[in-house]
Structure 1
Amino acid sequence: MKGIYRILWKELVQVFRDRKLVFSTLVLPVLLMPVFMFGPSLVLNRLMQGAAEKRQEVAVAGLPEEALSALRQANLAPVAVADPERAVREGKYPAGVLYREGVYRVYARLSGGLTEGQVVAGKVQGALAALKEAKVAEALAGRGVPLEVLQPFRVELLDASPEREKAGGLLGFLLPFFLVVFVLSGGQVVAVDATAGEKEKGTLEALLMAPAPLWQVALGKTLATVVMALLSGTAGLLGLALGGALAARYGGGLLTETGQAVALGGRVVLDGASFLALFLSALLLALFMGAVMVGLGLYARSYKEAQSYLAPLQLVALLPLLFLQFRGFLELETWHHLLPLFNVALLMDALLKGTATLGQAALTWTSTLVYAALALGFSVRVFAREEVVFRN
């Protein structure tokens, strides 16, 4: 087994000699993830607050005096125009209102992301809704009917999620997704350099002449890829957890298409057994993907070609994870825990929520280990083909 250890150590030493590579792979994720998660929502909150406090002009046509007064009270300045819709479309006003045949039509440019026009349209809608409630209350009072008759009862929506799921929030969903992303990006660095990189440097031939079986060479390079993948995944999760904690403390979150900040939670509650299960899942995932990346990297003629192979691999690996967001609509079957990558994401999600069972874990770990063995066998077979190893 000394051959495996020596190859593993050789690959890791080459990686850690490159300080820029270490910084971009292990340090930068910790620094960037909090900015990615907390920064946009903080900027959005300030922009939204500024737009709400600002007095904007609104194009109006046909509005009665009571509606104009309601808009002024909402810190808006109504300006009479012939065609409010056209004025908004041409960008002359952020929003417009047209009153015709008892209908208030509010115009705003709603496509293309969050704009000040959408904020102004919200202010207009709020002002008109308040006016409508005031007129209803006045009509009821004139007939001697109390306003409470419109609200005979209240409906409250309460979160009945388990405490662990409630504590994690959206952060529990993001952890498996970003873990796979960072495992792939971190492992790719070693896999490409240890295969196609050695081809370009001319050192692969000398390595294959060493008194070590091919399976030890392949396993040593794969384990080096696994180590770097796990370190990268750990760095990414630290940054994600830090960003989630900051977002939970200061009220930030991820931005949706409507401009709302979705709370991320901030705490991931794991007991010792769940933490070990989560680590084992990440280890097996890294072993599986590491063996695949080593095999593809060796098949490539050059460093650049290897990167062109591994870039689509990341997209293919992320595709099953996209379906994780629909897990609440699916009735999970046993075979779901046999699907590559998707089974690991399902198990991680269940571990974070505290709903994982021993059977789910056993199926996921066993199947992932089998996939890793098959991928490692593929790598050894590639190493044994001279027309692949020596092609350039």
Structure 2
Amino acid sequence: MEAALRVFRKELLQVFRDRKLVFTTLLLPVLLMPFFMFAPTLLMGRLVQEAAAKAQEVAVAGLPEEAWKALEAARIKPVNDPDPEGAVREGRYPAGVVFREGVYRVYGRLAAGFTESQVVVEKVRGALQTLKEAQVAKALQRLGVPLEVLTPFGVEVVDASPPKERAGGLLGFLVPFFLMIFILIGSQVVAVDATAGEKEKGTLEALLVAPIPLFQVALGKTLATVAVGLLSGVAGLLGLLLGGAVSARLGADLLGASGEGVVPGGRVDLDGGAFLALFLSAFLFALLVGAVMVALGLYARSFKEAQGYVAPLQLLVLLPLLFLQFRGFFEVEAWHHLIPFFNVGLLLDALLKGSATPLEVGFTWASTLVYALLALGLAVWVFGREDVVFRN
């Protein structure tokens, strides 16, 4: 194994000599992740607050006097317009209201994402709902019916999630997602340069003629890929946790128009055993990804072609991760933990929520290790094929 460690050290030296690569792969995620997590939500919260507090002009037609006054009470300026729908479509007003045949029809531009028009529409709806409740209350009062008839009972929703799942919040989903994504990004940098990059530089031939078994050459390059991938994952995770901590601390001040916080918060609560299980799962995932990338990079004729091979692999990992947000809609079976990449995401999610079982852990670790060894065997086989290694 001494030769494999030498190859491992050689690849790491090449990585850490490139200061730009170290900065973009290891330091930039720590600096940017808090900004990406917190700044957009902070900006959105302030924009929503300002839009809710500002008095916007709204195109109206056929509005009764009581509805006019209700809109003015909600800091909305009604403006008579013969065609409120057309006025909103042309962008002259953020919202419009038409009263016809006992129906208030509210117009807004709602298909372009979260905009001021949506905020104004909600303000109009809220004002009209308040007016409706007031008129119902007056009608009941005239009939001598107590107002309590409107609320015969109360409904209270209580979060019954386990403590760790409730504490994790949205951060509990983001940690597995970004950990695996950053491992992919960091692994790609080393794997492509250590294979197709060395082909272009002409240094791969000198390495292959050295008295080193091909298995140790492939293992050394794979371990270097794993090491940088894990470091990149840790860097992204640190940035994510830092952003989550800032969001949780300041999120109480960032309220949307509905009064609900818009900042994703949460915290990671892991004991020693769960933390070790999380690290081992990430290591096995990095080992699998690293071996596959080394094999793909060596098969490629050039650095650019290797990047083209690796891109579909990233999509192959990203697609199962997206399904994690829907895991509450289906029952997780034991065989799901045998699916490559998806099983690691499932296990990481379960570890953070404190719901992982020994069977799930065993299936995930064993299957991922088998897949990694098969990928490493494929890399060794590719190293032994001269028609592949030297096909430039």
TM-score grouping bracket, smaller chain normalisation: over 0.9
Q: How does 1:308-323 map to 2 (within 5 A)?
A: 308-323=308-323
Structure 2 residue 379 is matched with structure 1 residue 379: yes
Looking at structure 2, the residues matched to 266 and 218 of structure 1 have their Cα atoms a distance apart, in angstroms, of: 40
Give 1:327's aligned residue: 327
Q: Aligned with 2:78: secondary structure?
A: strand
The 8 Å contact of residues 244 and 265 in structure 2, kept in 1 or not, is answered as yes
* Identical-pair percentage: 71
Q: Aligned with 2:301: secondary structure?
A: coil
Give 1:200's aligned residue: 200
Q: Aligned with 2:149: secondary structure?
A: helix
The 8 Å contact of residues 38 and 263 in structure 2, kept in 1 or not, is answered as no
Gapped regions of structure 2 (runs ≥ 5): none
The Cα of 1:244 is off from its aligned counterpart by: 0.9
Q: How does 1:350-361 map to 2 (within 5 A)?
A: 350-361=350-361
Instruction: Deviation per CA, 1:47-77: give whole Å up to 9, x if none.
Output: 1111111111111100111110111111111
Which stretch shifts more, 246-255 or 35-44?
246-255
The 8 Å contact of residues 253 and 263 in structure 1, kept in 2 or not, is answered as no
Give 2:119's aligned residue: 119
The letter for the 2-side match of 1:79 is V
Q: Aligned with 1:268: secondary structure?
A: coil
Instruction: Deviation per CA, 1:231-260: give whole Å up to 9, x if none.
Output: 00000110111111111111179999x9x8
Q: Aligned with 1:195: secondary structure?
A: helix
Looking at structure 2, the residues matched to 26 and 282 of structure 1 have their Cα atoms a distance apart, in angstroms, of: 17
Q: Aligned with 1:225: secondary structure?
A: helix
Give the paired residue count: 390
| TM-score, L = length of structure 2 | 0.97
Looking at structure 2, the residues matched to 252 and 9 of structure 1 have their Cα atoms a distance apart, in angstroms, of: 48
Give 1:156's aligned residue: 156
The Cα of 1:266 is off from its aligned counterpart by: 2.6
Q: How does 1:55-94 map to 2 (within 5 A)?
A: 55-94=55-94
The 8 Å contact of residues 343 and 364 in structure 2, kept in 1 or not, is answered as yes
Looking at structure 2, the residues matched to 277 and 271 of structure 1 have their Cα atoms a distance apart, in angstroms, of: 10
Give 2:53's aligned residue: 53
The 8 Å contact of residues 97 and 107 in structure 2, kept in 1 or not, is answered as yes
Structure 2 residue 187 is matched with structure 1 residue 187: yes
The letter for the 1-side match of 2:88 is V
Structure 2 residue 273 is matched with structure 1 residue 273: yes
Instruction: Deviation per CA, 1:334-367: give whole Å up to 9, x if none.
Output: 1111010111111111111111111111111000
Instruction: Deviation per CA, 1:180-238: give whole Å up to 9, x if none.
Output: 11010000010011000100110000001111100000000000000000000000110
* Cα RMSD, aligned residues only: 1.7
The letter for the 1-side match of 2:34 is P
Q: Aligned with 1:77: secondary structure?
A: strand
The letter for the 1-side match of 2:380 is V
Residues 1:253 and 1:210: Cα distance change in structure 2 (over 3 Å)? farther
Looking at structure 2, the residues matched to 131 and 347 of structure 1 have their Cα atoms a distance apart, in angstroms, of: 51
| TM-score, L = length of structure 1 | 0.97
The letter for the 2-side match of 1:6 is R
Give 1:177's aligned residue: 177
Give 1:305's aligned residue: 305
The 8 Å contact of residues 40 and 255 in structure 1, kept in 2 or not, is answered as no
Q: Aligned with 1:251: secondary structure?
A: helix
Give 1:141's aligned residue: 141
The 8 Å contact of residues 175 and 237 in structure 1, kept in 2 or not, is answered as yes
Looking at structure 2, the residues matched to 124 and 358 of structure 1 have their Cα atoms a distance apart, in angstroms, of: 54
The 8 Å contact of residues 37 and 254 in structure 1, kept in 2 or not, is answered as no
